[in-house]
Amino acid sequence: MLKRNIQAVILGGGDLASGAAFRLHRCGFEILIVEKEKPTAVRRNVSFASAMYEGSWEVEGIEARKVAEPGEALNVQKKEGIPVAAVEDFRRTFTRDKNEILIDARMLKKNPEDINRSKADIVIGLGPGFKAGKNVDAVIETCRGHYLGRAIYEGKPAPNTGKPGEIAGFSEERVIHSENAGTFTSEREIGDKIGEGEIIGEVAGRPLKTGIGGIIRGLIKPGLDVGPGQKLADIDPRSEREYVNYISDKSLAVGGGVLEAIFHLS
């Protein structure tokens, strides 16, 4: 049986990061998530990053709680939870010379200059921007398709296409991006039913309309300042409301790849 004091630091608390955290937590790892003070996760219902706004947040029976120092994190872990620390607090009080496992799940989709293989005993990256054997020990494929969730130990994953994965035959139509910079506002909620062509929110007073109808699966936190082209919302055309509260098949597949890589590299 895996000992329970193996520490895994996960950079990022969005839906893919949360899929990895969920898998590792279920297998007995002690998790610490590091996030921005104002996360931009879209699938907030299934993102542990939401603890940064709410103080605590539960995803499929696992509670994450915002912490500011190691003692608080340890108390959360003792209660079978996942601590979430702000980036600045992590740098100030948590950072050790070397972590056991470091997982970069920020989905920057470009080479992260602050990550290299000397940062931990095992360093794993999710998606584009990483090269196994160079800046990470393994990279997990995040592109939907035949190779989704595969752990790569030499080379790169598929490049970022900028095109969302298909759900029920819809791809780009189901994702809404900002057309301009400004503050995002919305009276909608994740889980709401919405029709094609309806307004889901505004950026600096400019309305954003849906390309398809369905259930709002993801919605960035209203009140945040956003930039042009930023992802703001995700519509699920399958119209199954309960799906918004469950980690996606993609996130679980990626989490499985992380788990494999850890055991393989150990």
Question: Is residue 97 very low, low, confident or very high in pLDDT (cuts 50, 70, 90)?
Answer: low
148-196 tens-digit pLDDT: 999 999 999 999 887 887 887 888 899 999 999 999 999 999 999 999 9
Q: Is the dihedral of CA 219, 220, 225, 231 positive or negative?
A: negative
Amino acid letter, 212: I
Question: Is residue 49 very low, low, confident or very high in pLDDT (cuts 50, 70, 90)?
Answer: very high
- Residue with tokens 């990895």, as numbered in its chain: 20
233-252 tens-digit pLDDT: 999 999 899 999 999 999 99
Model pTM?
0.94
Angle at 206 between CA 163 and CA 235, to 5 degrees: 40
User: What CA–CA distance (Å, rounded) separates 62 from 261?
Assistant: 23
105-126 tens-digit pLDDT: 999 999 898 888 989 999 999 9
Mean pLDDT value across residues 53-73: 97
Buried b (16+ CB within 10 A) or exposed e, 210-221: bebebbbbbbbb
CA distances from 87 to 32, 161, 162, 209 (A): 11, 28, 27, 34
pLDDT in the model for residue 95: 76
